[in-house]
Chains A and B, each alone.
Chain A
Amino acid sequence: MEIRPAIQIQAMIKSMIDVVLPAVDPEHKMAQEQAQLIIGTLKMMGQRLPLQFRYDRKELDEYVALSVELLKQMRGSEKTQSAMKELGASQVEGAAVLDRARAEPGELETAVFDLRAKVGALVKAVGADGEAASRDALKHLILDAAENQLQRELSWQAALGYSDPAELQPIENLIGVSPAR
């Protein structure tokens, strides 16, 4: 799926710099300033977006570690004990989330990219010298998989206005629930 923020942000920055900003009235200082701020904000988003997940994971890692130490070292009466009890529950939950958050989003993308390429290569190979029965099965497998894939892609990009919204399912229904706790 190619509709991704990375490419969209890069294209927006180029459009702002090459086309929009030169056309903004130089006398309209607020418009000039905000156009520059939009470019700056987009640049920051473009740089930081790939690191967002790692940043959050690092933060969670450190808070889990801090919580462990706090739970070890803090002592007190009713209020302290109550707060520690709540912290303890959240620390356990946080540690479980951290345990599941091992793969980078980029690794996920790479794995999908690789499988797409390998499936594509097999489709080509079967077209060249696959057995007749395999070719029949291939048609069903590939077209059925494409149906699910395209439903997801069309729902993902609904806001672009190319499809009738009434014919699309909410994207949340198509990409599953959050990972189980």
Chain B
Amino acid sequence: MLSIDKNRPPAEWIADLRRRFPCETEIDRILTSKLNRRAGPGYSPVSLETLSNGVKALLQQELKEPFEVVEAKWLSGGASKVQMEFKLQWNEPGVGRTTTRMVLRMEPAESAVETSRLREFQLIKAFEGILPVPKAYWADAEGKYFPYPAIIYGFATGVTKPTGSVSNVSGTGINFGPALRPIIGAQFVDHMARMHTMDWRQADLSAFDVPALGTQAVEWQINWWERVWEEDSNEDIPLMRFAADWLRQNMPPVDRLSVVHGDYRSGNFLYTEHDNRITAWLDWELGHLGDRHEDLGYALNLVHAHKSEDGKTVLYNGFMPKEALFEAYEKASGLSVSPKIVDYYRVLSTYKLTAVCIGSTYRIARGGKSHQDVLLAWLIGAGYVIAEDLRRVLKEV
């Protein structure tokens, strides 16, 4: 069916994609690596024992004192990475002998979003003390100790949704209920504001390229996701072609560079039910330097929204209508919101998510490349909901 066999990508095709869609250095590295590995074997199950041994091997290099890795077990949640919880009995610097619950987060052979563990590690580190994030301990960015690249961070307690409530896979469509809505919603906005106003120049973000003010940050994002669409999609979708062209024709200049989370939504934070406080923001793998409006546009995706009890009002991320989100964000951040630019990023974010949910999930399940292909095959369905969102936004702008 294809003129290019994307399951066995030729070297000249990979080189052509790199030339046509220039991205940040680290993004280019991981996307190229993905394609170079693609013709190789699918994902084979990895045992808890193998991962525990990987942790031990890594820590033997990192720690001088004796330690024990105990009580390893699988964690579910997310559509992208293999996750194992364990306890480390160790002599923690500055603390002494202690037992710490930790999480190992490792890539499968191919991920729904192919990203850099080093970037994820650096971003979590950068936000320690600024936002509730897990403590980042170690990164194995090249997969030296594990079958694939991995990071280790502290276990954060909490839930992604009220106990007993239901949502679809990967935490889409969470309903927090009327009582909890304003409490968590206020933190959702406040944390976004803190993230966007954080002085990233003081942090070690060596795995990130710094775009020039203007349209470079936007262009890198378009290139990243159009490249992913080219690399992973099976059948073409003319709407995606139209959207990519529209995005290039209408790039808004960035007036201020912020750290952008890239997947800022319900389902990607934990909160504790006894005090309703957000305890950890997770999934930093899509983070980059760019325009604050990008996270706002992403927050308006309909796949992460539901209607309120009146059956009419759309509550984005299960919290509030669009206007209320903008008003609260401006108040919390002191930064202006341009609804027109937010609309631009609604197009970009729905384009990106469609590329992931219809393109990447298909390609991975087709190649047997992950630990949860059946979930990814299910997630393709979310892609069509998002594509419909994309179509509607394009009709409005």
Contact = CB atoms under 8 A, between A and B. Distances in A.
Interface in B36-59: 42-45
A34 B305 CA distance: 39
Contacts of B377: 7-8, 11
Interface residues of A, number: 42
Nearest to B47: A22
Nearest to B3: A117
B373 interface: yes
B79 interface: no
B381 A3 contact: yes
B277 interface: no
Contacts of A109: 1
Interface residues of B, number: 45
A146 B239 contact: yes
Contacts of A142: 238-239, 242
Nearest to B46: A18
B362 A7 contact: yes
Nearest to A140: B395
Interface in B264-304: 303
A160 B241 contact: no
Interface stretch (B83-91, B196-204, B384-392): B384-392
A143 B242 contact: yes
A7 B45 contact: no
Given A22-B45, A123-B242, A150-B387, A157 B236 contact: no
Interface of A: 1-3, 7-8, 10-12, 14-15, 18-19, 22, 109-110, 112-114, 116-117, 119-121, 123-124, 127, 138-139, 142-143, 145-147, 149-150, 153-154, 157, 160-163
Interface of B: 1, 42-45, 168, 172-173, 234-242, 244-245, 248-249, 303, 358, 362, 365-366, 368, 371-374, 376-378, 380-385, 387-388, 391, 394-395
Given A15-B374, A146-B387, 12 more contacts: A2-B380, A7-B377, A8-B377, A11-B377, A18-B45, A19-B371, A120-B236, A123-B241, A142-B239, A143-B394, A150-B387, A153-B384
